[in-house]
Amino acid sequence: MAAAGPVRRTGSPGRPGYDLDSLLAVAVKVFNDKGYDGTSMEALAQRLGITKSSIYHHVSGKAELLELALARALNALFAVTTEDQVTSGRSIDRLEYLVRRSVEVLVTELPYVTLLLRVRGNTAVERRALARRREFDAFVSDLVVAAAEEGDLRPGIDPALTSRLVFGMVNSLIEWYRPRGGESVSELADAVVALTFDGMRA
Amino acid sequence: MAAAGPVRRTGSPGRPGYDLDSLLAVAVKVFNDKGYDGTSMEALAQRLGITKSSIYHHVSGKAELLELALARALNALFAVTTEDQVTSGRSIDRLEYLVRRSVEVLVTELPYVTLLLRVRGNTAVERRALARRREFDAFVSDLVVAAAEEGDLRPGIDPALTSRLVFGMVNSLIEWYRPRGGESVSELADAVVALTFDGMRA
């Protein structure tokens, strides 16, 4: 044989090749369009224009694709919780930074966060993702409690309810936000922070 | 024949009978659990414990059940737009009342609004519902514009974005709110209004 290194098999001649990242991007799009439960490996292979065995070259199956996609969204969100501006300072400022960065993560990782927010817990992979989401929610809720204790919240604010409502607003972006040239992500994040921290009333 | 009035057929002996309202309530639950597309009339009949022909006694088919369910949610929301407190007074107060009542409608009609918010426009019935949703959104957005013109909003507020974010928060209730004994709907509505109009910051 000629001096051939390992050759990436890409299905049939002329078909595009995929690395794991680009394969994952397409899989996530299909999961979001058709639902994870409603997507077969066969349908995935057809959409990718490659054979099923080409997918198995990268992952053990559909569940691993889901796990990788959910991990990408969760890791991006948890990475924010360890940034300097979230680990020191007054809790209200840490909370504001966390909300702002969460909007940015949601927009940057839109398809992955969309998939995460639609998870309902039908499989072990989904239940683990839900558990990590609850961990993130608890982190936010603790920050709201701390901000209240430091006297920086208006009286009568319920911390658990408030964190749910604020992230309800943030997460609702997956329903209507579509990246466009004109508007910047930071303007969007500013609007969410302004509304939830200072309100719209003059 | 004996003096029998019309007899409601309820499928087989001992099976529960349904009027249109109770049939609709079960259908909406199944649509929300399994998805409208994924629900057959056969599955619906099984869940109801009646025959398909018993369902056809009430409606022409699945699409009519969907249309009735979506109309219930939309009519409840549009009814709010004609209440006195929304048709007169300062726009900011009308808007506040509208947000408060929308939370109440969402909680009262939870399964119906949940179905409405998940509609994606695959059928003519769904597209009509989406058109009415857009009409409602435009009504809200116009109120925010008017409130800004009357000088009652903080400077720099983008009306279209703000109405999307506020109703993003309101609509997010379908993801996590479950009616319980302890908390009242009006407390929930108060929390949403306080957060979006005055913010959480002291």
Give dist(CA B83, CA A64) in Å, integer.
52
Is A194 in Cβ contact with B157 (below 8 Å)? yes
Q: How is B39-64 classified by DSSP, letter by letter? A: --HHHHHHHHTS-HHHHHTT-SSHHH
Radius of gyration of chain B (CA): 21
What does the block give as tokens for B96?
């506040």
What's the distance, CA A136 to chain centroid?
12
Q: Is the pLDDT of residue A151 over 70?
A: yes
What does the block give as tokens for B130?
């989406």
Question: Is the minimum CB–CB distance between B176 and chain A shorter than 8 Å?
Answer: yes
Question: Is the minimum CB–CB distance between B158 and chain A shorter than 8 Å?
Answer: yes
Q: How confident is the model over A5-44, as pLDDT tens digits?
A: 344 444 444 455 789 999 999 999 999 998 898 899 999 9
Task: Establish, for the pair of chains A and B, how many residue pairs have beta carbons separated by less than 8 Å.
Answer: 115
Residue that wins the pLDDT comparison between A175 and A147: A147
Give span(s): CATH 1.10.10.60, chain B.
20-65
Q: Cα dihedral angle (B35, B40, B42, B47), rounded to 10 degrees?
A: 10
Is B153 in Cβ contact with A191 (below 8 Å)? no
Residue B165 confidence (pLDDT): 97
Q: Fill in the amino acid letter for A80.
A: V
Q: How confident is the model over B11-21, as pLDDT tens digits?
A: 444 455 789 99
Domain at A20-65, CATH from 3.30.365.10, 3.40.50.12780, 2.160.10.10, 1.10.10.60: 1.10.10.60
Task: Show residues of chain B in contact with A173, CB under 8 Å.
Answer: 168
Phi then psi for A5, rounded to 5 degrees? -75, -175
Is A202 in Cβ contact with B161 (below 8 Å)? no
Percent of chain B whose pLDDT exceeds 70: 91
Residue B9 confidence (pLDDT): 46
Q: Is the pLDDT of residue A71 over 70?
A: yes
Q: How confident is the model over B138-165, as pLDDT tens digits?
A: 999 999 999 999 999 999 899 999 999 9
Q: Using alpha carbons, list the distances in angstroms from residue B159 to A53, A96, A191, B65, B154.
A: 51, 22, 11, 35, 11
Residue B184 confidence (pLDDT): 86
Q: Is the pLDDT of residue B197 over 90?
A: yes
Mean pLDDT on B72-86: 98
Residue B100 confidence (pLDDT): 98
In terms of Cα–Cα distance, which of A139, A133, A163 is closest to A81? A139
Q: Do B28 and B111 meet the contact criterion of CB atoms below 8 Å apart?
A: yes
Q: Fill in the amino acid letter for B130.
A: L
Mean pLDDT on A136-147: 96
Domain at A69-197, CATH from 1.10.357.10, 1.10.1660.10, 3.20.20.70, 3.40.50.1950: 1.10.357.10
Give span(s): CATH 1.10.357.10, chain A.
69-197
Q: Do A197 and B164 meet the contact criterion of CB atoms below 8 Å apart?
A: no
Percent of chain A whose pLDDT exceeds 90: 79
In terms of Cα–Cα distance, which of A47, A28, A168, A27 is closest to A110? A28
- Assess: ipTM above 0.95: no
